[in-house]
Structures are given as C-alpha cells and as structure tokens.
Structure 1
Amino acid sequence: MHVEMENVIKKLEQYIKDDEVTYEFDDAIEELKQLDLGLSSVESLLGFMEKHPFTDFGMPGEIVHYMERFYRHGYEELLMKSIERRPTIHTLFMMNRLINGGGDREFYMALLKKVTE
C-alpha cells in the first residue's frame, strides 16, 4: 500500500465512532481525491470496509462516490473480489447499485446467491 494511502486509512480509522462515520471522514476522502492514487486506492478502501462490516458509510456516502469514479476501469472486479473475501452490508449495497445500473446483472446475481448461501 502506498504510504500516502496508509496515512489516509489511519485517518479514516479515527473517524469511525460506534459504527458510524464522523463528519471528518468526508474530509479524508476529499484529501484522497487530491492525491490521485488511482485504482489502487479502491482496493485499499475496500479492505478498510471489510474491517468495518457493520459501519454505516452513508447512502451511498463519499467513500462510494469516490470508488465509483473507477467504474468500468477495474472498480467492479475489485468490488467482486472484496465481496467474495468478506461481504459487508455496504459492499453488498454497492453491488446492488451495479445491478440497478444495468451492468452484467446475471453475473452479479449469481455472486450474490453464492455469498448468501
């Protein structure tokens, strides 16, 4: 993981209280945007979400808006790998957004069935 990304993750950790994010959380995501770390940042953020499976990151929240910037540039594949490793409430919500967005519905539904069995 890139050193700057590690620093952002440390900040994000500080901004989770009782499975909810504080207002400073969005500031850390804004800082991440300025770093322009690309798709590798998505993998780190998904790993962070896996560590916090019950956290309410918003609907969908700045963290999701940030990752969706990489839609059709590798985001979907990273999200699917994350869900296969450790599905969380929020990553399943993110997959639902892909399903509703008209993507490869059959593939996503099959994965959803697999992880819920």
Structure 2
Amino acid sequence: MNPNQVQPMDCLTFCINSMDESLLKFANYDAGKNTIKILNKIYPTINERLKVYILISHSYIMTQALTQLMGNPLNVDGATETISSPIFAKFQKNLIETVNKNFPMLMSKLTQEHRMKLEALFA
C-alpha cells in the first residue's frame, strides 16, 4: 500500500485516533488558548468544556484536511471557503453527533497523563 494514499475513515475512527497529544498541542495555538478562555467562562462543568473543546479541536483538524483536499489555500480565505461548503457542513454535523454520542468512550481513549493535563486546562 502506498503510504501517501488516502484511506477511508469513519468519523468515530477519526475521533478515536485524534484522542492523543494533538488535543494538548491545540491548547498551545492562539485558537486553542482563546477557546479555553471562552469555554471556561460559558460552560459550568469540566465535562461540558472538554466535550466542546474536543469538538473544536477536531473541527480544526478537519478544516485543515478538507481545505487541502479541496485545493483551497491554507489561509483565512481558504478556510472560510472550506467551512462554507456543503461537504464541511455534512462532516461537521457527523462530528458533533459522534462526539456527543461517544464522549465517555472517547475520554477513555486518553492516557491518564493526557486526561489530567486536559482537565487541568479547564479546572
């Protein structure tokens, strides 16, 4: 198999595979830092904050991937075009449903260290 060949993946598999260090890396980006500040102000529980954070983090990854696949430039204009597309809306709806339905299982995929670090961001 060609390592550059794109392999089909369902949304749940994408979510499970993304429950790793990438969640913590996102927290270091400006977008991640701002997300954490906002979520800490508007959601009353750590679990609610974590669920929305996972959605936003995964959406960020998905936007980058779709932007590249659609041939859009990796800048604000390209991202705007991507998130305005019908295909993005379909993927985003599926992502929201998947995370909401599988949140406890997704959290169980984190290592104890990653979980503790994430929870500390929202404490």
Which has the higher Rg, Structure 1 or Structure 2?
Answer: 2
TM-score normalised by L of structure 1: 0.33
Q: Which has the higher helix share?
A: 2
